[in-house]
Structure 1
Amino acid sequence: MARSVTDEVVDQSVIEDRAASVGHLFRDRVAASPGSEAFRYPQAEGWESLTWEQTRDRAYALAAGLVELGVQPEERVSIMSSTRIEWVLADIATMCAGAATTTIYPTTIPEDVAFIVADSGSRVVVAETVEHVEMLRSMRADLPDVLKVVVLEGEGDGDWVITFAELEALGGTRHQAEPGLVDGRIDALSPDHLATIIYTSGTTGRPKGVRLLHSAWTYIGATVDSIRILGPDDLQFLWLPLSHVFGKMLLVLPMQVGFPTAVAGDVTRIIENVGAVKPTFMAAAPRIFEKAYGKIVTMMADEGGVKAKLFDWAAGVGLEAAKVRHGGQEPSGVLGLKYRLADKLVLSKIRDRFGGRVRFFISGSAALNPDVARWFDAMGLVIIEGYGLTETSAASVVNRPTPQDNVFGTVGWPLPGTQVRIAQDGEILLKGPGVMAGYHGRDDLTAEVLGEDGWFATGDIGTVDERGHLRITDRKKDLFKTSGGKYVAPSMIESMFKGICPYASQLIIEGDGRKFVSALITLDAEAVTAWGAKNDMAGDSYAQIVSSDACREMVQGYVDELNSQLNRWEQIKKFHILDHDLSVEDGDLTPSMKLKRKAVVAKYKDELAEFYTD
């Protein structure tokens, strides 16, 4: 019999007895696991580790350094850096000093950096590079609240800029002279104190600062712990941007549960680092899974002959076995024999590419194609999809790793303590301890999305099935209506295409008020270059390959396959393959690799307009 959310065993005491603040949570973890590994990070000679006790020593020194600089409780410390161990230490130090972290992506444009630092009232800015420091120096006159800039890579100037090591040394001296200083700051924290401000895009163009209290973060840690999907023996690989709410959440979980985390933010080395770290779980955006799927599938297809046939056979057997597991059974009889052989010859080797120890992946920040999720499941690599927003501390709803509870195409059940409701117009409403306190300095914007009864309007459209699983249809603002009066949900169609075409990078569909739907398409550079080499275009550039008749014919075949699964009014009648892929640097994607739809449609409005000139 199928389980529902009401059947789930939850340890409510974990939620009810949670720590008063992130500072308390961190201190409790150090007391419980002082000599256990807390964090691992890459160095020139390999990987180095910090125990929880060593992490405490460094974080307390940095926290005392912030106090020495003049940072008061709940005042803000901005961190503008890629994902690295110093980001982690700076964030923990900020929490322990009783201050609040403000996150800034290292790729943020100067205008927005100036706005975020000034709007948040940040007293200290931790900046990664010399270029970041120079940017801040150029706007210093507009940042009167900033006491100091702390640079991770570079030298201090003896005045406004000090190094990370200098901050740690400064705090070490203060902490030695006043050993109870940091613990006193932690003791003074309450659940209602401000912990974090994370800025998210606003409709006016100005970012909105989401205020998250300590109670929100300790709730997220406790509620995930209460469902027992993670334990102290797990090992996390963390590469996600820590400036994103998803990444920030993944720093709270190890404090709550006690597992170690390997931290390395180089996106180009994810697979290599995963193979070296051998984690038991990892969170990622869908694009990472889509890219890995496309690479493996096309590589095996290019092998041809016996290898390709063996891979296809093993994948088919894996899918059959997975279907049996999702029905509550284990593959047996002939299927069991075939599965053991397929696993030995093929499937286990795919798992080895990801370190060989992964229990599950977590996918979030955008829709994951269900067919991609099923393919990974067939390989023995479970992906559980979750859902949340910056305004809900990242985690509100998540599938569970057990086959019967992991429903592809849904984002799962609400976490204990969180409620989900569907409004009359289909909008998803959320309520629970993880919901924000409001937008920083913008009560007017807060009132638009957060009712007095505590229900937060997400802006997403969805449905809840009979078992309690939430299914996201699309962003409310992204839905459009054709001139024929039919609604189209672009995200769903775009996700479908990525599961059909292994060469796809991005699909952006348009048709608002038009008589038919059109699309912009980009292809994965690595995959299409390999395809070009097999099709008499070896040595040609990406632009040359994607503009060829052969490539267009190949893509047309996948578009036709997509259209065969869509309603007539949703089908793509015309498309254009861009001569370059979309990127974070060009402002097309967020740092978490989510499509900036409006920005892309505006950028390529001329190309889209040509489809409708007849």
Structure 2
Amino acid sequence: MTSFPEAIPRSEPTPLAAATIPEAFQQVVATYGDQTALRTIDEHVSYTWRELDERVRSLAAGLAGLGLGRGDTVAIILPNTVECHLVDYAAYHIGAVPFAVFNSSPAEQIEHQLRVADCTLVVTQLAFLDKVRAAVAALGDQVRHLVVVDGEVPGTLTLEDLEGAADPAFDVEAAWRAVRADDLSTLIFTSGTTGAPKGAQWSHRTVMAQQRALAAALPLPSIGIISFLPMAHAGGRITSQYMALAHGAAITACPDMAQVPVALARHRPDAFFSVPRLWEKLQVAIELMIAGEADDSHRGALQAALETGKQAVLAAETGSDADPAEVIRLLTEHKEALTLLRPLLGRLGLDRIKAAFVGGAPSASELSVFFRAVGVPMLEAYGLTEGSLNVFNRIEDFKAGTAGKPLPGVELKLGDDGELLAKADLNFVGYRKQPDETAAALDENGWLRTGDIAVIDDDGFVSIVDRKKEIIINSAGKNMSPATIESTIKGESSLIGQLVAVGDRRKYVTALVTLDPEALAVYAKRLGLDGKPESDIVAAPEVRAEVEAAVERGNRRLNSNEQIKKFAILATAWLPDSEELTPTAKLKRRVIHRKYAEQIEALYFD
């Protein structure tokens, strides 16, 4: 395994040379001090890196004045706001360990995470104050300070109060310089689909190794980043706050996913990471723009350009058996087609993107083919809370439908049962207060058991087959991957929002299907159903026929035992952080099987 040193030699004084997060931050301030560092979407609040440093030092001194120091934990229960980043960076500068809690968490989960983290200070806002207070009260006198960022509430502190608590003699410079690479940097609580969330601990070495690995393999931003994923999400931290530190990029804080289109259009980032759900919505938006083109000839030209792009992408894949001359021809035509498609990207704020990342949940290969076809270089990636983002496709070295190749410094192998094992400095350092769980995940030689079944092809590309514990075994004893079935069918139509394959101990596979609300509007117009109530559109035979056609196309790409024999279309859409989906849009299979048991049983009634 190629191992990255604790830091790049000091002869190269760059943020990536830093051993710790606060050291990287200070190097960015020294290098990019007058450039924008952090802002709101409308830029009503905007800091340069030098101004941000002043505010961070003030807040760090305030945290120290309240008695926090190296190794103490700070909980942040906020949307992705400017204040969220301010407190995070400030905590790093005194060697404290900031961690975020999903805002949607109920009081019981907040209590659990505060307890596991030994948290003594919580930062939140008025919208979440009632449940945060309930969680804090259940912990007795553990939490000593509660900070509210958007209002004055008796018994709580404001950010100004926090800064006012500073001891004038406190030496912030000495505090951040005392932080070491092996000190804890943050906690990321797992999404908890099968039990109470576990606190995965990252060291400063974990974070900086991740950024060095990314920088060594991928084109990364120099202009700006839209930070909208929750900071409780591993990808949210890695691809916004930490990536900005590595390259001095401006962070645009986007507290609500509904504001992402506005942020994209205004600030036009050069790198963008999201879970598949948002990319699917952007695909629908582009399809809607093409379908809504009033000029028939121009609409036809756009559709032809899109199809040309898809053919070029598939022909250019690593390992493609396409004739080289044909590849060159298609790529030339694709370059010309992009002149037609680029204005559409400009309307969405996607025209400057150098690297578009998709990960955090399974995605259909057609998604990356679509975006590469329209000129957005999408990189399918793989990662997990315990192993960071460690496998990526590259701009010129890619295979749609795979997670890509390991980043530099990451070593992979498959266990006897096909489980993907990973070894790297960017692995987590253990679960907080759970040594047995840590030992089950990390062996004595540093190999992380990911829990994912994978295959690695002859070109080195990794494909994730399924979660180790989610394999379907039908009544005939055949093993199947529900994720493979689901992504294959979903990729056949943007109309399908979510699809759950069912078939464990059953004689054949069935599926529950939900429809994408935005795509439904596009299809309704195309099928002559626009203007009707949504419930009528969902139940329309024409819509079922569209889903049925997608299932049939997908089935042709599956083994006979994997093919979906029957399906039911549900009348409701599933949203992230709901009964059916985790905050990162992973399926809560047990909940779904229990909640929709009646619909499932009906599919097996002959």
Judge same fold: TM > 0.5, yes or no. Answer: yes
Distance 1:448 1:441 in 2: 14
Do residues 276 (structure 1) and 266 (structure 2) align? yes
Native 8 Å contact 1:321 1:330 kept in 2: no
Q: TM-score, normalised by structure 2?
A: 0.91
Amino acid at match of 1:378: A
1:368 aligned onto 2:368: no
Q: 2:213 aligns with which of 197, 220, 223?
A: 223
Structure 1 residues 524 and 50: alpha-carbon distance in aligned structure 2, compared to 1, 3 A threshold: same
Aligned to 2:183: 193
Deviation at 1:377, TM superposition (A): 0.9
1:533 CA drift (Å): 4.6
Alignment match of 2:523 (pick from 513, 518, 531): 531
Structure 2 match to 1:65: 62
For the residue of structure 1 that corresponds to 2:470, the secondary structure is: coil
CA contact (8 A) 1:15 1:226 kept: no
Q: By how many angstroms is 1:262 displaced?
A: 2.0
Judge which range, 200-209 or 18-27, deviates more: 200-209
Counterpart among 151, 155, 166 of residue 154 in structure 1: 151
Please tell me whether residue 346 in structure 1 is matched to residue 338 in structure 2: no
Change (3 A) 1:140 1:269: closer
Partner residue of 1:499 out of 466, 491, 501:
491
1:95 equivalenced with 2:92 (yes/no): yes
Q: Indicate which of 95, 98, 123 corresponds to 1:126.
A: 123
1:295–1:29 Cα change, 3 Å: closer
CA gap 1:222/1:572 in 2 versus in 1, 3 angstroms: same
In structure 2, how many angstroms separate the alpha carbons of the residues matched to 1:568 and 1:332? 33
The answer to whether the aligner puts 1:26 opposite 2:22 as a matched pair is no
Aligned-residue RMSD, C-alpha: 2.6
The aligned counterpart of 2:13 is: none
Q: Which amino acid in structure 1 is aligned with residue 30 of structure 2?
A: A
Q: Does 1:459 align with 2:451?
A: yes
2:14 counterpart residue number: none
Task: Return the alpha-carbon distance in structure 2 between the equivalents of residues 47 and 535 of structure 1.
Answer: 44
Q: Which residue of 2 aligns with 1:318?
A: 309
Report the CA distance shift for 1:532/1:323 in structure 2 as closer, same or farther (over 3 A).
Answer: closer
Inter-CA distance 21–335: structure 2 relative to 1 (3 Å threshold): closer
- Which range is displaced more, 285-294 or 476-485? 285-294
Structural mapping, 1:9-408, within 5 Å: 15=8, 18-43=17-42, 46=43, 48-128=45-125, 130-143=126-139, 144-157=141-154, 159=155, 161-171=156-166, 174=167, 177-178=168-169, 181-202=171-192, 205-227=195-217, 229-230=219-220, 233-250=222-239, 251-301=241-291, 305-322=296-313, 326=317, 338-339=333-334, 341-392=336-387, 394-401=388-395, 403=396, 405-408=397-400
For 1:380 and 1:11, locate their aligned partners in 2 and report how far apart those are by CA, in whole Å.
33
Distance 1:582 1:480 in 2: 22
Amino acid at match of 1:238: S
C-alpha distance in 1 between matches for 2:374 and 2:571: 33
Q: Secondary structure at the match of 1:380?
A: coil
For 1:277, the aligned partner's letter is H
- Judged with a 3 Å threshold, the aligned counterparts in structure 2 of structure 1 residues 421 and 20 are, in CA distance, closer, same or farther, namely same
Of 570, 573, 581 in structure 2, the residue corresponding to residue 581 of structure 1 is 573
Contact kept? 2:356, 2:379, Cα under 8 Å: yes
Task: List gaps (5 residues or longer) in structure 1.
Answer: none
Q: Secondary structure at the match of 2:547?
A: helix
* 1:340 positional shift: 5.1
Distance 1:332 1:395, change over 3 A: closer
Q: Report how many residues are paired.
A: 593
CA contact (8 A) 2:342 2:351 kept: no
Per-residue Cα deviation, 1:30-84 (whole angstroms, up to 9, x for no partner):
12222222223224xx554311111111111111111111113111100111111
Asked if the contact 1:22/1:95 (under 8 Å) is kept, the reply is yes
Instruction: Note the alpha carbon deviations across 1:476-521, whole angstroms, 9 max, x for none.
Output: 1111111122122111222222221121110111110000111111
Moved more, 381-390 or 411-420: 411-420
CA drift of 1:208 comes to 0.7
CA contact (8 A) 1:14 1:225 kept: no
Cα distance in 1 between the residues matched to 2:302 and 2:211: 40
Name the amino acid aligned to 1:550: E
TM-score where L is the length of structure 1? 0.90
Q: Is the 8 Å Cα contact of residues 318 and 378 (structure 1) preserved in structure 2? A: yes
| Shift in CA distance, 426/310, structure 1 to aligned 2, threshold 3 Å | same
What is the one-letter code of the residue matched to 2:231?
A: L
Letter of the 2:337 partner, please give it: A
Contact residue 15 and residue 222 of structure 1 kept, 8 A: no
